[in-house]
Structure 1
Amino acid sequence: MKLFKIRFFALILFVTGWSSLLGQTPKITRGPYLQVVTPSSIIVRWRTDMPTSSKVLYGQKQDKLNLTATSANLTTEHEITLSSLKPATSYHYAIGTDNIPLAVGSDMFFHTAPKTGAKTKVRIWAIGDFGNSSDNQINGRDQILKATTDHRPDVWLMLGDNAYSKGFDDEFQRHLFAQYQNSFLPNTPSYATPGNHDYGGKPDQFDIPYFKSFTMPEKAEAGGVPSGSESYYSFDYGNIHFVSLDSYGKLDGQHWLYDTTGRQVDWLKRDLAANKQPWTIVFFHHPPYTKGSHDSDKETALVKIRQNLLPILERYNVDLVLGGHSHVYERTFPLVGHYGLAQTFDKNKHVVSAATSDQHNEYRLGRKKQGIIYIVAGSGGQLGGKANGYPHPAMVYSNNTEGGSMLIDVAGKRLNARWVCSDGVVRDEFTIVKK
């Protein structure tokens, strides 16, 4: 991204229509980045080193930013909603104050979501446990850039532990925003779910940088049922319904995710019951099945999530559950009814699969009860670990030596998923086809 200084004012004024340059020039210290995209709106956020007004110029052509959204409130944390947009349409934008342009560039663009229910192709990027500025994180980022030159991700899912190791603001700045600013943040809408490191290990503390850094669609701005909480929410994109759950926070000072009488799970049931989309993807940090750097037979949260939450997800025919926490990659068979320890897993009893012998990783869903595929994608930055009993017997594929992240393409009734490693190799792929 090009951050223009005053000496370039003539070019910027021509491109963006800013009227004048007055006074001291503030500096952007974070962003711009995109949040909560819908068929008709999107949120643009950025941070400045001094309080200023906020202005976004935007339009369908980079050299004709003829639309304006502003806020006169002086702030360092800028958040502007662009509305009355066209569905499935590309826009370019520039940001600044009322009279000072701060950023404009060829990488500052966005695509609005298609109309809800549309069967057009949607590309999802999912990455967990990534924010540590390691070579694994950086190489993985660059490989996703290469793998998506034909179709940039439409939705970016951050699966928790997004900034190591305490979730401090400067850690988010160094390990997340700085690492993706020149690649994905200015043009890829992101949706986050919190991990234990994002909370800084304090599950009852909610006045934290994680919640200040992201805007959640808690009012059902992007579909679903209003959650009224930044901790958990849902949204639609095309014909996919996404649900983000908080698997670490102690909500209302008393309820964990596995407390099925709590406010979060009560909302989850209502949201899934109201969902009309053919695809449902749920994401939260703590996986119910893993034998990597964490053990789902021994860690209390993982055991109880498997016992108490999974029957609810099965009831509403969720397709995929994405998580992290364990610093490995793991993929289960399509599962139903397995809530016990690893040794109780019975492939003949707990796997619901229509995979054919010649297409081992292609699952065709019919009218019978479908199984849920659980993905652990916790090696986006952190890497490695092996618990007793690795690999978990419910896994089709496990890898604790290479890092990477997921690309998931959904088009109509077909879902293709691949695990792209930090060396560019795709080491796991699978497909789900619905009738």
Structure 2
Amino acid sequence: MLPVSILLVVGCLIAPLHGVPPIWSQPEQVHVSYPGVHGSMVVTWTTFNETESVVEYNEWGGKLFTLVAKGNATTFVDGGSEKRRLFIHRVTLSGLKPGSAYVYHCGSEAGWSDIFYFTALNESLEWSPRFALFGDMGNENPQSLARLQKETQVGMYDVILHIGDFAYDMDEDNARIGDEFMRQVESIAAYVPYMTCPGNHEYRYNFSNYKNRFSMPGDTEGLWYSWDIGPAHIISFSTEVYFYPEFGKDLISKQYEWLKKDLEEASNPSKRQTRPWIITMGHRPMYCSNADKDDCTMFESIVRRSLEDLFYLYGVDLELWAHEHTYERLWPVYKYKVYNGSAEEPYVNPRAPVHIITGSAGCREKHDGFIPKPRDWSALRSTDYGYTRMQVLNSTHLYLEQVSDDQNGKVIDTMWLVKDRHATAAWV
């Protein structure tokens, strides 16, 4: 028999586990995003009890928490068997000084988050924003996350673009996997705007985990939207409308009409003169040279057939994709034909859009393979885990590089996209 003293200690340890309910009012899963309104930032977080939605903040170097903004919470009921209830809080910070750093925490008198910081987006057309971009990152085997955490927190990036497929999968275990993923990415997403698009792994319950957990611009639940940053206009859209018609066949036409209108406005000569770069991000690529029989491996790819002509017509400069768990850089391509600027400088004044596939951030499904012989339009391929960095330098120069996490952060590919002309005039 155990000594009385040990029994008492054991009793003290056991009793609270059974006698005290957990505290569900503590904020977690904090992340920020740009709402597409100048001088603003949205702070989003989760609690499991209903509480107030408050952000206390101030400029870096000032007295902490002298500014206060309030928002509201929406109830998210997961579609799993337990019908778990989450409270998703959103607070918009307005009147921010462009380029200024802010310190904040969020929550309510029932519980506060850790202290975080972010920098309000610079609104100058001369600004050269820096991005980290990737897709297909899960809870299990998130190979690139540690490097991204450190690089984000030391200020290497202004924006993160996550191009679909989160957690693997956010709905699993009655959405607890989604909770855990959002806790993991808090270490990057609470510091810089975390901008997203939906992927195929978000499809369950009509993409409900994606729609509820993220706060993107516009009023389409984050399925498609656009925003301006520096000299670039960025368009995020859903490739998944073509693959899940059970959630609404009308979404195909609605998105297409929205895309057409948005591209028309972005291509207006006065707009394009000041913000010349048009960059798209969608999950499933139009092209790829993988060996997994996905849509992009088919000659009549659904995504390519549906959108390639539209993007070409309005002079989209750069198309960012994920889905394939690899990295692939394409030559400038349109309808399977390569349109390099020249043999010596293929990406200087190319005559077709450039495609980048960056879906190798790391997940439990590991890598995808390539066909042995690359297609004529395939410039470089890698199966290393990693992610892409991008900087839009000015109206004529855009820089991309691929980081290999397998090789301890080595840059394994670089590319300058140089354009003296944008819009359809560039294709002549």
TM-score range, shorter chain: 0.7 to 0.9
Match of 2:397 in 1: 414
What is the alpha-carbon distance in structure 1 between the residues aligned to residue 92 and residue 153 of structure 2? 28
For residues 245-264 of structure 1, what are the alpha-carbon distances to aligned partners after superposition, in whole Å with 9 as ceiling and x for unaligned? 1111346621575xxxx111
Q: Mind listing any 5+ residue stretches in structure 1 that lack a counterpart? A: 1-23, 220-227, 339-349
C-alpha contact (below 8 Å) 1:288/1:302 kept by paired residues: no
**Structure 2 partner of 1:18:** none
When structure 1 is superposed on structure 2, of 299-308 and 282-291 the one drifting more is: 299-308
Is 2:201 aligned against 1:209?
Answer: no
SS of equivalent to 1:206: helix
Of 59-68 and 41-50, more deviation after overlay is shown by 59-68
Deviation at 1:119, TM superposition (A): 1.7
State which of 392, 395, 415 in structure 2 corresponds to 1:430: 415
Corresponding residue for residue 222 of structure 1:
none
* Matching residue of 1:179: 184
Distance in 2 of aligned mates of 1:72 and 1:150: 31
- Answer yes or no: is 1:78 the counterpart of 2:59: no
Contact 1:143 1:421 in 2 (8 A): no
- Give per-residue Cα distances to partners, 1:96-146, cap 9 Å, x unaligned: 21x3551242xx11112222x612120111111111420xx24x1222345
Q: CA 1:112/1:326 → structure 2, altered by over 3 Å: closer, same or farther?
A: same
Does residue 372 of the first structure (1) align with residue 363 of the second (2)?
no
Equivalent residue runs for 1:90-105 within 5 Å: 90-97=101-108, 99-100=109-110, 102-105=112-115
CA spacing shift, 1:149–1:393, aligned 2, 3 Å = farther
2:236 to 230, 244, 249: 244
Gap change, CA 1:34 and 1:353, over 3 Å in 2: same
Provide the residue aligned with 2:386 in structure 1. Answer: 404
Q: Give, in angstroms, the shift of residue 85 of structure 1.
A: 1.5
The one-letter amino acid of 2:120's match is: T
Superposition RMSD in Å: 2.7
TM-superposed CA distance for 1:147, in Å, is 4.8
The aligned runs of 1:25-424 (5 Å cut-off) are 27-28=25-26, 30-37=28-35, 38-61=37-60, 63-71=63-71, 76-97=87-108, 99-100=109-110, 102-105=112-115, 108-115=116-123, 118-134=125-141, 137-138=142-143, 140-147=144-151, 151-165=155-169, 167-168=171-172, 169-174=175-180, 176-181=181-186, 183-200=187-204, 205-206=205-206, 208-219=208-219, 228=220, 230-249=222-241, 250=244, 253-255=248-250, 257=252, 262-275=253-266, 276=271, 277-292=275-290, 294-295=292-293, 303-338=301-336, 350-354=337-341, 357=344, 363-365=347-349, 370-382=351-363, 383-388=366-371, 390-400=373-383, 402-412=384-394, 413-422=396-405, 423-424=408-409
**Contact kept? 1:292, 1:384, Cα under 8 Å:** no
Deviations along 1:313-366, one digit per CA (max 9) or x if unpaired, are: 11111111111111111110011332xxxxxxxxxxx22323563xx57x222x
The offset of 1:207, in angstroms, is: 5.8
Counterpart code for 1:125:
A
Amino acid at match of 1:111: T
Deviations 1:225-276 (A, max 9, x none): xxx453111111122111111111346621575xxxx111111011011012
Determine if contact 1:128/1:380 at 8 Å carries over to the other structure.
Answer: yes
Deviation at 1:150, TM superposition (A): 6.0
How far apart, in 2, do the equivalents of 1:300 and 1:170 lie?
A: 35
Q: What is the CA distance between 1:41 and its match in structure 2?
A: 0.7
> Which amino acid is the alignment partner of residue 114 of structure 1?
N
Deviations 1:171-206 (CA, angstroms, capped at 9, x unpaired)? 2222x213222x212111111111111113xxxx42
Counterpart Cα distance in 2 of 1:309 and 1:410: 24
Query: In the alignment, is the contact (CA less than 8 A) between 1:296 and 1:302 conserved in 2?
Result: no
Is contact 1:290–1:330 with CA below 8 Å preserved after alignment? yes
Structure 2 counterpart SS, 1:51: coil
- Alignment CA distance shift 1:71-1:283 (3 Å): closer
User: Residues of 2 paired with 1:211 and 1:159: CA distance?
Assistant: 14
Whole-Å separation in 2 of the counterparts to 1:73 and 1:132: 26
The residue type paired with residue 268 of structure 1 is L
Q: Tell whether the 8 Å contact from 2:163 to 2:196 is kept in structure 1 after alignment.
A: yes
Within 1, Cα distance between the matches of 2:51 and 2:170? 29
Paired letter, 2:179:
Q
- Any stretches of 5+ residues in structure 2 without a counterpart? 1-21, 76-86, 421-428
What is the identity percentage for the equivalent residue pairs of Structure 1 and Structure 2? 27
* Corresponding position of 1:4: none
Give the 3 Å change call, closer, same or farther, for CA 291–247 of structure 1 in structure 2: same
The alpha-carbon distance between structure 1 residues 293 and 385, as it changes in their structure 2 partners (threshold 3 A), is farther
TM-score (norm 2): 0.78
CA distance in 1 between partners of 2:28 and 2:218 (Å):
23
* Counterpart code for 2:327: Y
Higher helix residue share: 2
Equivalent residue number for residue 341 of structure 1:
none
